[in-house]
Every structure is written in structure tokens, then in C-alpha cells.
Amino acid sequence: MLYHLFEWLDAQYDFPGAGLFKFVSFRAGVAIVLSLTISLIFGRYIVRFLRKLQIGETVRDLGLEGQKQKQGTPTMGGIIIILAIIVPTLLFCRLDNIYVLLMLLATSWMGIVGFLDDYIKVFKKNKKGLPGIFKVVGQVSLGLMVALIMLNSEDIVVRMNKKTAELNNYTITKTVYAADPKRGGQLREMVYVKAPLTNVPFYKNNELDYSKFLKPIVGEDWSRKLTTIVFVILVIIIVTAVSNGANLTDGIDGLAAGTSAIIGGTLAIFAYATGNAIFADYLNILFIPNASELVIFAACFFAACLGFVWYNTYPAQVFMGDTGSLTLGSIIAVFSILIRKELLIPILCGIFFAETLSVMIQVSYFKYTKKKYGEGRRIFLMSPLHHHFQKKGMPEPRLVTRFWIVGILLAVLTIITLKVR
């Protein structure tokens, strides 16, 4: 909003300082400050308001140390995160950018789903909350919308060499001329194409076309037709998996918010590299025109999570609830897909992945042993994984800090994949 205002002021009146808003780095920095301000200042009033309404969490007795102290702690704190993301994004991002609009869609859509779940738990006194099928419908519908918009919007394209595009029969939407740094700045003919491409980690020529997986099985003609279906299914799976992974991770104070902040900072780096032609060429990754606006959104996401940690560290003054956890996971998933880095999610979101995997292993092994031996047996003392370490006697603050350190290591490893091939 402010970008468009200052652009008009700069063009019409040469307004002093208006040109600063053309720079993504400036707007991202200011957005971080505003997002943190909203989290830290307005967050305090939101926590008080939730307490006044007696919107407290009913904590199920799991036999964990310090659990009784959390009884009655306000929930629905995800509202703080959502406000600290949406308000700065509306103010400092270009609102005619398709990527920003998709991220606002993902934030508000899953925010509503999570809010309904918390509302039923708190106000309707139904511990189960929103039936699982409705959560899945919300996640699937979001994935479906994102996939179809990506496939059909003329604004979502990638840039590549014209010869490569013609060789693969990609739909060319625009032709441009760009300087080639490897040839002393000599101009080369480049094109914008619509294609189901992504970057593959640890692979030299790392541009992957999803249709090439189908080509050996169904032939070239059918592979193009089926790629749409495959891509839609893949996006739905990613959105659902990461959203649920974040939800499972939100089990102890500060874990989900702190981990998400680390992931958000990493995604900001990826968005900057992907949306900058020079860096994209240097790193040999896909250049996505106009994706640099996502840096501002990622900055808001990072600051919102960091600001929420202020109130969510042990002992937590407020819980994010499904309002926050489902939203965080969906944002991370959609963001990764938009910048074509979805195949890095198992590394970048390794904490979420481990938490989800621990639950799947625990449940599967329990059912298997119950069927075979007549009694269910467990691999972990408790799942998700963080509860296993709690059962072993690890204090909650130490556990969260160590998970954060692992998250940072995974983030660094993810960034390194840009050059390791």
C-alpha cells in the first residue's frame, strides 16, 4: 500500500525519500521493525484480552513435569502472529504482486481454519475441536487453489535460455535480453516460460521438469497432460504435511515459533537469491521475476515468530493454538513451492519432519505389535519426539534450545545446497 503511495508521490512531486520504497531491502527492514512492534506491544494487550475472556488451554494430563502449571494459559495467541504478518505485508509489499497475494491467501485461509478449531475447543468446550476431516479439507483446498493459480496465472513464470525453452516445447510468454556475467556482460536472449520446474538439491543441472518423470511411463504427449494432475497432488501433499508437522511441533513452549523463525529467515535468503537475476545466474538456480517481493513477506514472518517467542518462552504467557501452528506450516509450504524450493523442505523443516515421523512410527509399531502379540508396544517413551525427551527428564527450556540449535544447523545445510552439487 505504502509502496504505491510513495511511487505516486515520487513520480508526481519528487517527494524526498520516496525512492527508498523502491528497494526491497529497505521495505523488508522497516517491515521487520513494524512486525516486532506489533508482536511486542499489541501482543501484550491481546494476551490480556484473552485472559479476560478466560480463553485458557485445557491441558491433557500426560504425566510430564510442569504440565499442571500450564493449565489455563491463554490460547489463540496465533492471532498475534497473523496480525504481525498481514499488517506490515499490506503496508510495505506491492499488492499487485501475485506471489504476495498468494501468501496472504495462505495466511488468512489457514488462520481461519485454525481459529475455528480453537474456537470449538475453548468456547464450545469440545476437546476434539474441529473434526479432522474439515482440517484436511481446508489444507487440501488451499493446496488446490495455490497449484491451479500457479499453473494458470500469466504472472507466475521462470526465466531461461531461449534455446532450452524451445527444445523442451515450453510456453513462452515474453522475450527479454539479459547480460551474461560468464561472458563479460554480453547480452543473451532469454525468455519467460510457464513450466512445472523446480530446483533439485545436490544435482549439477538442477532444473527438474515434473513431466520428465512421466515421460518414460506414458510417453511425451500424455506426460504433458498428466503433469498438471501430478503437480496439483504434490502441492496438496506438501501443504498438508508441513501444516500438520508444525501443528505436532507445537507441544512445548517456544518450540514451534522459534523453529519457524529460523525457517522464515532461511526462506528470505532463498527468495532474495531467486528474485535477483545476478544471484540466480551465479548460483545456477531458477530466476523467478517479481519473486523478490517475497523477501518482505518472509521478513514479516520471521519477525512475527520472533516477537511471539517473547510471550511463548517457558513458562509461556500464551499458546499459539491451531490458529498459529496450522498457519505457520501452511505459510512455509506455500512459500517454498512458490520459489521452487519444495524439495528442500525435508532438510529445512527437519524438526517438523522428525516430529511427524516419530508419531507415524509410534502409531504404526503400536498397532503392529498389538495385532501380533496382543499388546501394543512403543519405540519412543512418548510421541511426538519432544515428549520422548521430556519423559527422559530433560528440562523444557534446555530441550527447546537444543531443538533450535538443530534447526539452525539444518538451515545452514539448506543454504549450502545452493552451491553443493
CA distances, 190 to each of 164, 179, 183, 281 (Å):
10, 10, 15, 12
Across all residues in the chain, what is the average pLDDT? 88
Q: What's the confidence (pLDDT) of residue 55?
A: 64
pTM: 0.93
Q: Which residues of 107-138 are buried (b: 16+ CB within 10 A; e: fewer)?
A: bebbbebbbbbbbbbbeeeeeebbeeeebeeb
Q: Which residues of 91-106 are buried (b: 16+ CB within 10 A; e: fewer)?
A: bbbbeebbbbbbbbbb
d(CA 118, CA 122): 6
Cell 510421541 appears where? 383
Q: Does residue 61 carry a pLDDT above 70?
A: no
CA 248 to chain centre: 15
Q: What's the confidence (pLDDT) of residue 414?
A: 95
198-222 pLDDT per residue, tens: 888 877 767 777 777 777 676 666 6
Q: What percent of the chain lies above the pLDDT cut of 90?
A: 59
Cell 517481493 appears where? 293
Phi, psi of 87 (to 5 degrees): -60, -50
Q: Does residue 57 carry a pLDDT above 60?
A: no
Confidence of residue 39 (pLDDT cuts 50, 70, 90): very high
Which range is least confidently modeled, 223-232, 277-286, 313-322?
223-232
Q: What percent of the chain lies above the pLDDT cut of 70?
A: 92
d(CA 83, CA 64): 32
Q: What's the confidence (pLDDT) of residue 278?
A: 86
Range 149-159 average pLDDT:
91
Residues forming beta bridges with residue 258, ordered by sequence position: none
232-245 pLDDT per residue, tens: 999 999 999 999 99
265-315 pLDDT per residue, tens: 999 999 999 999 888 888 888 899 999 999 999 999 999 999 999 999 988
3-state SS of the chain is: CHHHHHHHHHHHHCCCCHHHHHCHHHHHHHHHHHHHHHHHHHHHHHHHHHHHCCCECCCCCCCCCCCHHHCCCECCCHHHHHHHHHHHHHHHCCCCCHHHHHHHHHHHHHHHHHHHHHHHHHCCCCCCCCCHHHHHHHHHHHHHHHHHHHHHCCCCCEEEEHHHHHHCCCEEEEEEEEEEHHHCCEEEEEEEEECCEEECCCCCCCEEECHHHHHHHHCHHHHHHHHHHHHHHHHHHHHHHHHHHHHHHCCCCCHHHHHHHHHHHHHHHHHHHHCCHHHHHHHCCCECCCHHHHHHHHHHHHHHHHHHHHHHCCCCCCCCHHHHHHHHHHHHHHHHHHCCCHHHHHHHCHHHHHHHHHHHHHHHHHHHHHHHHCCCCCCCCCCCHHHHHHHCCCCHHHHHHHHHHHHHHHHHHHHHCCCCC
